[in-house]
Structure 1
């Protein structure tokens, strides 16, 4: 569907927007908009959402084999959630939209933001002059996700910043599911000299490449669309900001790409799924560190023994 996406609208109370977003993400949604406020790859409600107010959650899909059954599938998945048994929500019929129409909506609520003490992320329509050791990344929201605004992205960036500021920082990094390339760009800006950013989505690779070139980090960031299991080499740092179940499915591939003493950062995980992921990684030779939280999301840090 070159340049064409499918959108479905779900009307529901603000308190359930995040839960519904996690459900549609697992169904393959490329992203969401709450009314006209854009959210990131994994859905989390804006702090201004009223739990009792009804909102329109717009859900976008890039490739759907059977569009006619999409509405029914979403309704069934939502109906199976115990929390929603007594709730009233409406799911619209799917319709097609242009990529550019959606991408323009991002500009309404994305502005310059700071991650940690040094990293600044800003869109192209806002100038930013760095000072006092700051480093800045220019990145615009679009169809490949990741601008730093989502809780999971913030958690990953903060963890990356802490590791790179410590003694013996990682000398290279593998970014699994890079999306817009934001985590790779953040690591490069903070001093990581060699980064491989991996994503099997061609659109994500194209957008990530554009962002890398725009920010001038093409000498230290390589973009790859190869499946993870086909990638060569081991790394000091591996970051995967993907869904909980995908983290578990890829755990052995993660280990194969992690040097002894290397750091593993996992996010894209709802709080309620922490034990699921912890149990999934329990049989690997990894030392675990305390969980970091933001909103309803968590970030797990491990180190290979």
Structure 2
């Protein structure tokens, strides 16, 4: 007799994909799936349309845990809905045979910037020398390439990364930025992440991308004693405005005098706070990217 599963799906704005995926991953089974946009060729200058909504999916086994798992997902959805109205949870039954492969159908490679292609490990991609492949499977920690803050970080990273450089990745999440930096030429990356589940996922991603020898992950807060005693050519902080403001002195301390810094996760309404702070530390803004309400900065010392 075929085992049955409950498919849970939800439509949400793109900027809420990552927090909701985290909820789905925590209480679902086998990861989460997010509908990707296909049917365009970035190497021909084509750009993906910006959707108003994306669909997230996960799967629950039919057993004694089903109702509690579903209730936990609904609680998470209600909390996120305080920030932005979401669609209704949709459910349907599927068989074990459907579940084994169905969720993989929703994942396609995601091009970012001019040099990066984020790809599920089961997808076969034609050899394309113009882009670096980053293998990142669903259900991972924050940092999948769907969220504007991560995409903008990757775009800025392409412009400032140097061969054989040292990179500090604060709030490393899934490890996507450290992986990208390594594949674009960095010699050594140090990722700092407080969430243990994110560290576990990131370590798996490092192995998938064969960069585990180049990236060191630290599961802690910003503890200076755990960080190698070097000055980094590039410091990346894809976090929140609040944490950027609280930790900027440490970020500054770890940056080489001629290095670059990428700050992301900044809301437009809070930009002036960051601008005031970097002025105090004698930095200038070299590049500013915006995506809806989000801002990412590339800065350096004056």
Question: TM-score when scaled to structure 2?
Answer: 0.67
Partner residue in 2 for 1:238: 235
Query: Structure 1 residues 108 and 228, CA, compared in 2 at 3 Å: closer, same or farther?
Result: farther
Partner residue in 1 for 2:144: 147
**Other structure's SS at 1:208 match:** helix
CA displacement at 1:218 relative to structure 2: 1.4
5 Å-filtered alignment, 1:147-166, equals 147-164=144-161
Q: Distance in 1 between matches of 2:139 and 2:105?
A: 12
Residue 132 in 1 paired to residue 132 in 2? no
* Runs (5+) with no aligned partner, structure 2: 1-8, 26-31, 36-48, 59-71, 90-100
**Other structure's SS at 2:295 match:** strand
5 Å-filtered alignment, 1:66-81, equals 74=79, 78=82
**Other structure's SS at 2:287 match:** coil
Pick aligned residue for 1:177 from 168, 171, 177? 171
Q: Distance in 1 between matches of 2:292 and 2:115?
A: 22
* Runs (5+) with no aligned partner, structure 1: 1-8, 40-45, 59-66, 93-103
Question: TM-score when scaled to structure 1?
Answer: 0.67
Query: Structure 1 residues 240 and 271, CA, compared in 2 at 3 Å: closer, same or farther?
Result: same
Query: Structure 1 residues 219 and 177, CA, compared in 2 at 3 Å: closer, same or farther?
Result: same
Residue 198 in 1 paired to residue 195 in 2? no
Q: Distance in 1 between matches of 2:104 and 2:272?
A: 37
Check whether the contact 2:178–2:189 (CA below 8 A) recurs between aligned residues.
yes
Deviations 1:173-198 (A, max 9, x none): 00111111000111111111111111
Equivalenced residues, count? 248
**Other structure's SS at 1:219 match:** coil
Partner residue in 2 for 1:278: 275
Farther off after superposition, 112-121 or 256-265: 112-121
Partner residue in 1 for 2:219: 225
Partner residue in 2 for 1:187: 181
Pick aligned residue for 1:216 from 187, 210, 218? 210
Check whether the contact 2:21–2:56 (CA below 8 A) recurs between aligned residues.
no
5 Å-filtered alignment, 1:42-53, equals 47-49=50-52
**Other structure's SS at 2:144 match:** coil
Check whether the contact 1:243–1:269 (CA below 8 A) recurs between aligned residues.
yes
CA displacement at 1:200 relative to structure 2: 1.2
Check whether the contact 2:14–2:52 (CA below 8 A) recurs between aligned residues.
no
Residue 268 in 1 paired to residue 258 in 2? no
CA displacement at 1:113 relative to structure 2: 1.7
Query: Structure 1 residues 239 and 89, CA, compared in 2 at 3 Å: closer, same or farther?
Result: closer
CA displacement at 1:252 relative to structure 2: 1.0
Check whether the contact 2:14–2:51 (CA below 8 A) recurs between aligned residues.
no
Check whether the contact 2:33–2:107 (CA below 8 A) recurs between aligned residues.
no
